Chain A
Amino acid sequence: MFFRIALLVLKKDFAIELKSYEILSTTAFFAVSCVAIFSFAFVKEGQAVEDAAAGILWIAIAFAGTLALGRTFERERYGETLKALLLAPAPRPAIYLGKLLGIVMLLFATEVLLVPMVAFLFNAPLFDRPVLLLALLALGTIGYAAVGTLFAAMLVRARTRDVMLPILLYPITIPVIIAGVRGTSALLQSPPDEPMATLWIALLGFFDVVFVTLSLWTFEPLMTE
């Protein structure tokens, strides 16, 4: 029942997004422009600064994630549909899980574009250890989106939501971004530093468990008026 409701919420978001591709296309475009801007900052005499690729990848994911979060919940606010969703006789954590899955899918889709682009532009051997990279990206995205979905959902009611989302989200999720960046740059070394990357993946997994548990636990009282 719980997971069926979560999947229903996810399906609803999917159906809306598939009509226009609005959020996916704008988020992906924003991520790509982020990479372009950072490449101007970190390229010296035609050569990228060492380790820049990992940082640029994760910053682009974080910024694009904020945009996607803001847009997704703006859509819910516009039609007052979040209120309707919360009125439905369904467990609130299931609704949270559905929204979280939607955001994670959206960010994964962006990363499918972003990662090859960073590997190509910065000559970074990102695909040497595909399983470790996949684990880093998946766990990092989930951790970031878990906190992001919770705060974006709460901010739907707030007047200052545009400025408040980054203020709330970035300090809390910086540990996740740090773990992602350090893990990825361990993979980019030659030869790749696998024990280091595994350590950061373990830490990301730990963060995910803490953040998702806390979010599921607090979503209900936070969304009650």
Chain B
Amino acid sequence: MQRLFIPVLILTAAMFAYSPVAIASAPYESTMLLVQKIFYYHFPAWMALTAAVTVCFVSSGIYLFKGHAWADRLGFAAAEVTVIFGMFGLVSGSVWGRKAWGVWWQWDARLTMAFLLELIFIGYLLVRKYGGPGSEKLAAAMGIFGGATAPFVYKSVDWWRTIHPKTSVMASLGETSPEMWYVVWFCTAIFLMLSGLLLAARMRLETLRAGLDRLYLAAED
């Protein structure tokens, strides 16, 4: 795990440095032109968030049913990464909406549900910080219920007529514009690796904290 960290970090940094070039060389979208290029970070951010939510959901379940301490720490790390990517996803979407729809925020299904998901995971962090003893299980329950809400966020645009583009846009992009499709997945790869790196760094912090707690206990004896 630790041996992988540095090579992946270098690869991510290199790809990240190259991404503006790739994005600039991608063709313009016919109606939205320049501002559509926010998409190359907007979509990957939500993909990275999906990955982080999944990790949080699964590790919360593992902690709850098996009681492994590492799963608890991984869930905490994943929730924090979720909040960070969600924050960027919301802000980038809002900026894009200001240009494309003329408003910063629209109360449509996708945006509302995404906002809720962000709130759930901020709630998760609040429980962690202020919940007191026993808050691990509360947080795990929050992670499981938050993870259960995520599919609703994803499907909400298909179920309700909203202003946000449907999920089928991505599925058909490979045929309509292969260059764009390639750049989007290039950026998604960067973001997924980035979320993995952040998770690893955050896990290390939690592991050190757990070690510190053990040291304190040992010192008291």
Residues of A near any B CB (own CB < 8 A): 147, 150-151, 154-155, 157-160, 163-164, 167-168, 171-172, 174-175, 178, 203, 210-211, 214, 218, 221-222
Contact = CB atoms under 8 A, between A and B. Distances in A.
A68 to B, nearest CB: 20
Contact of B141 (A150, A171, A178): A150
A172 B135 contact: no
B134 A167 contact: no
Given A168-B123, A218-B64, A160 B141 contact: no
Contacts of A210: 148
B200 interface: no
B178 interface: no
Given A147-B145, A175-B149, A178-B112, A158 B138 contact: yes
B154 to A, nearest CB: 13
B106 to A, nearest CB: 15
A157 B131 contact: no
Contacts of B144: 214, 218
Contacts of A222: 64, 137, 140-141
A160 B131 contact: yes
A160 to B, nearest CB: 6
B48 interface: no
Contact of B119 (A160, A164, A171, A211): A171
A221 B116 CA distance: 26
B113 A154 contact: no
A50 B64 CA distance: 46
B138 A221 contact: no
A172 B144 CA distance: 11
B64 A221 contact: yes
Interface residues of B, number: 28
Kindly name the residue among A147, A154, A163, A211 whose own CB sees the greatest number of chain B CB atoms within 10 A: A154
Interface in B13-41: none
A172 B120 CA distance: 6
B103 interface: no
Contact of B132 (A150, A154, A158, A175): A158
A154 B127 contact: no
A221 B152 CA distance: 26
Contact of A154 (B112, B123, B126, B137): B137
Nearest to B152: A175
Interface string B107-120: 00000110010011
B146 interface: yes
Given A168-B123, A174-B116, A214-B148, A154 B131 contact: no
B130 interface: yes
Kindly name the residue among B123, B126, B130, B145 whose own CB sees the greatest number of chain A CB atoms within 10 A: B145
Given A168-B123, A168-B141, A172-B120, 16 more contacts: A150-B141, A151-B138, A154-B141, A159-B133, A160-B132, A164-B127, A164-B131, A167-B123, A172-B149, A174-B116, A175-B113, A203-B159, A211-B145, A211-B148, A214-B145, A218-B64
A155 B146 contact: no
Nearest to A159: B132
A175 B142 CA distance: 15
Interface string B131-169: 111110110111011101100100000010000000000
B65 interface: yes
Nearest to B147: A214
A222 B123 CA distance: 18
A158 B135 contact: yes
B141 A218 contact: yes
A90 to B, nearest CB: 20
